[in-house]
Amino acid sequence: MRDSYGRRINYLRISVTDLCNLRCKYCMPEKGIEKIDYNEILKLEEIQSITESFVNLGVDKIRITGGEPLVRRNILKLIEDIGKLTKVRDFAMTTNGTLLKKYAKNLKSAGLNRLNISLDTLDKNKYAKITRNGRLSDVLEGIEEAKKVGLGPIKLNVVLMKDFNEDEIENFVNLTKDEEIDVRFIELMPIGALKYWSLNNYISNETVLKNIEGLVETETVDISSPARYYKLPGGKGRVGLINPISCKFCENCNRIRLTADGKIKPCLHSNDEIDLKTPLRQGKDINGLIGDIIKNKPKEHNLEDGDYINRNMTAIGG
């Protein structure tokens, strides 16, 4: 389905929980988030029903995210149900990777195609520090398992942070030399309760281009992707740069987000939300409502200077 600006909206990102087993400093307050009442969170059947409505309206690309999607109870059932929707041609998940060793095989057999895994450092002490006690070995083992069962090509999401991982850019880029892996450097976004932390620790993605010689920009394959891609000469994988704030890819935006508590965010960089949970629970036909939401998707980012996204990233999913 096309919106009123002629963009084909075919990508739904679903946050299945705002809970997480890590506490990344840029994403989650140290004490965690205020727990939302269980009833406020969409049930798996409700997520499935909303997903089917979107798919019937032309969505063929779905990403499961969170919080950490793998901590959601019975997540495999949802993956299995969405995996059965034949009109979905690309079915992916963004995860911190810590639980993949246990889940990768079942995710693959349930119908998931591929994974984005978030990893901001390759140093175990730094990893424990930024995630407030995560274990790097869990993620590395998870990545190996994901590759083994065929959940690739893997995309690694690396959030760049001042005085934290600038010195590791080269190591991350070198991962693309011999392997078909995409390493994507993401600029910190000031968002939710941690907006000031992000503003204080921000560094631009240009740092990557300044630090690494020889990166060659590749042809854009997917114009709706927020990433600009580069390659090392002879490299098998790609290096992506994602500038969520400065780079406006609005004219090619194809995405819509569903939050864990049943709100639609038609644009990440806007605080506008539309409640789907209430009409769904009232037994109303949500297809028409979803069609209207798509049609009315905003033309572009509409936050004024000095305004920030109110919701925490855990509720939106990236």
Positions that interact with ligand SF4 (CB under 6 A): 20, 22-24, 27-28, 66-68, 96, 118, 313-314
176, interface contact from ligand SAM, ligand SF4, none, CB < 5-8 Å by kind: none
Q: Measure the CA–CA gap between 14 and 51, rounded to whole angstroms.
A: 9
DSSP assignment of 10-56: -EEEEE--S--S---TTTS-TT-PPPPPGGGSPPHHHHHHHHHHHHH
Is 66 one of the binding residues for ligand SAM (CB under 6 A)?
A: yes
Rounded least distance, CB 159 to ligand SAM, Å: 5
Judged by beta carbon distances under 5 to 8 A according to partner kind, the member of ligand SF4, ligand SAM, none in contact with residue 317 is ligand SAM
Question: Interface with ligand SAM includes 68 (CB under 6 A)?
Answer: yes
Distance in Å, CB of 87 to ligand SAM, minimum: 25
Q: Which is nearer to ligand SAM, 62 or 188 (CB)?
A: 188
Cβ distance 314 to 16 under 8 Å?
A: no
Please count the CA atoms within 13 angstroms of the CA of 313 that sit on its side-chain side.
19
The residues near 6 (Cβ < 8 Å, ≥ 6 apart) are none
Alpha-carbon span 78 to 48, nearest angstrom: 7
23 binds, among ligand SF4, ligand SAM, none (CB under 5 to 8 A by kind): ligand SF4
Q: Which residue lies nearer to ligand SF4 by CB, 68 or 261?
A: 68
Under the binding rule (CB under 6 A), the answer on residue 26 touching ligand SAM is: yes
Task: Give the gyration radius of the chain's Cα atoms.
Answer: 19
Q: Residue 78: which H helix or E strand, with range?
A: helix 75-83
Report residue 39 as tokens: 């009833």
Q: Does 318 bind ligand SAM (CB under 6 A)?
A: yes
Cis peptide before 153 (omega within 30 of 0): yes
Site for ligand SAM in 124-153 (CB under 6 A): none
Determine whether 150 is exposed, middle or buried from the number of CB atoms within 10 Å of its CB (0-12, 13-18, 19+): exposed
Residue whose C-beta lies closest to ligand SAM: 318
Contact partner at residue 189 from ligand SAM, ligand SF4, none, CB < 5 to 8 Å by partner kind = ligand SAM
CA angle, residues 26, 31, 36, in degrees to nearest 5: 95
Of 16, 19, 27, 173, the residue at the interface with ligand SAM (CB under 6 A) is 27
User: How do the residues of the chain divide into helix, strand and coil, expressed in percent and rounded to 5?
Assistant: 35, 20, 45
What is the pattern of x (binds ligand SAM, CB under 6 A) and - over residues 160-189?
A: --------------------------x-xx
Q: Point out which residues bind ligand SAM (CB under 6 A).
A: 20, 26-27, 65-66, 68, 94-96, 118, 157, 159, 186, 188-189, 191, 198, 313-314, 317-318
